[in-house]
Amino acid sequence: MRRKIAAGNWKMNTLLNEGVTLAEELNTLLDGIELYDDKRVVIAVPYTHISSIINVVDYKKIAVAAQNCSQFDNGAYTGEISALMLKSIGVQYIIVGHSERRQIFGETDDIVSQKLTQCYKNAIFPILCCGESLNERESVKHLEIVGTQIKNALQNVDTFNIQRTIIAYEPIWAIGTGRTATPEQAQEMHAHIRNTIADLYTKEIANEITILYGGSVNAANSANLFAKEDIDGGLVGGASLKVNEFMQIIESL
Ligand code: 13P
């Protein structure tokens, strides 16, 4: 089902006490807000914080996500965390294939595809990230690059599981730079992603997919981005660490 989602990606920020306080504050601020099934607030917090935060937030208001998971089931993979482990502590969403994981940790489209499989096996909603570099945009290859990322990631995804997948378009040049894609640039890419999904599956399925925009989303630009036809919300980094600003972004949904 296509939903409006405001998702915060805290990345590797906050100590446990700070993260719990931030989540509690958000939970309190959301008291006055009606969130129906078609609108969701998600926070992707560090692994170390997940259990504590799940205990202090109302699950009807805030879903807790992980920022990554292993592509493997279990076994001799020192330092890795499986999707099943995350499921066992109440995680509902996992960010998969964030550009920071692709660029810094060498995640390939194949690894991303395996991580998606782990999410589906454990009934967790993946938030599948895609996005082009500045160089790729400047050489006008952005639509092709993102289209290929989506096709490769979804290579083993059937019609049932695609409907449990959230996509986040995050142009790399907009992440943490203060340089947001214009609503028109983002809309163009979101429509392209939806068309790619329509080609791979059906138009009806493509219309039901939630596609988020990420990259320097803040309280000042979120309403204009979210007003676009194919933009169903945001995946917010830096601004999700400031509770009042994140609330304004949620309200602009
Ligand atoms: P910023 O909002 O800090 O640019 O980060 C975006 C992002 O990477 C969210 O996943």
Q: How many Å lie between the centroid of ligand 1 and the Cα of residue 128?
A: 14
Please, what is the average pLDDT of the chain?
Answer: 96
Residue nearest to atom 7 of ligand 1 (CA): 237
Mean pLDDT of 209-222: 97
Q: Among residues of the chain, what percentage have pLDDT more than 70?
A: 99
Mean pLDDT of 185-191: 98
Q: Which of 214, 167, 217 is nearest to 195 (CA)?
A: 167
Q: How many Å lie between the centroid of ligand 1 and the Cα of residue 197?
A: 24
Ligand 1 pocket residue status of 42, Cβ below 6 Å: no
Mean pLDDT of 233-237: 98
Q: How far is CA 130 from the centre of its chain?
A: 10
Mean pLDDT of 137-156: 96
Ligand 1 pocket residue status of 176, Cβ below 6 Å: yes
Residue nearest to atom 2 of ligand 1 (CA): 237
DSSP 153: H
What's the pLDDT tens digit per position in 102-116?
Answer: 999 999 999 999 999
pLDDT of 5 over the 70 cut: yes
Structural domains in the chain (count): 1
Residues 6+ apart with CB under 8 A from 184: 228
pLDDT of 33 over the 80 cut: no
The residue range of the domain holding 228 is 4-251
Q: Given this model, what pLDDT does residue 108 score?
A: 96
Q: Given this model, what pLDDT does residue 20 score?
A: 98
Q: How many Å lie between the centroid of ligand 1 and the Cα of residue 181?
A: 12
Ligand 1 pocket residue status of 233, Cβ below 6 Å: no
Under the banding of pLDDT at 50, 70 and 90, the label for residue 16 is very high
Q: Which residue among 103, 235, 248 is best mutated to probe the pocket of ligand 1, counting the most ligand atoms within 8 A of its Cβ?
A: 235
Mean pLDDT of 103-132: 97
Active site residues per annotation: 98, 170
Under the banding of pLDDT at 50, 70 and 90, the label for residue 90 is very high
Six-digit token pair at 43? 């926070």
Q: How far apart are CA 51 and CA 150, in angstroms?
A: 31
Mean pLDDT of 43-70: 97
Q: How far apart are CA 59 and CA 132, in angstroms?
A: 34
Q: How far apart are CA 53 and CA 63, in angstroms?
A: 10
Ligand 1 pocket residue status of 237, Cβ below 6 Å: yes
Mean pLDDT of 173-195: 96
Q: Given this model, what pLDDT does residue 36 score?
A: 67
Mean pLDDT of 224-235: 98
The ligand 1 atom at the shortest distance from the C-alpha of residue 236 is 2
Q: Given this model, what pLDDT does residue 139 score?
A: 96
Q: Which of 6, 87, 12, 89 is nearest to 46 (CA)?
A: 12
**CATH label of the domain that carries residue 150:** 3.20.20.70
pTM above 0.95, yes or no: yes
Ligand 1 pocket residue status of 217, Cβ below 6 Å: yes
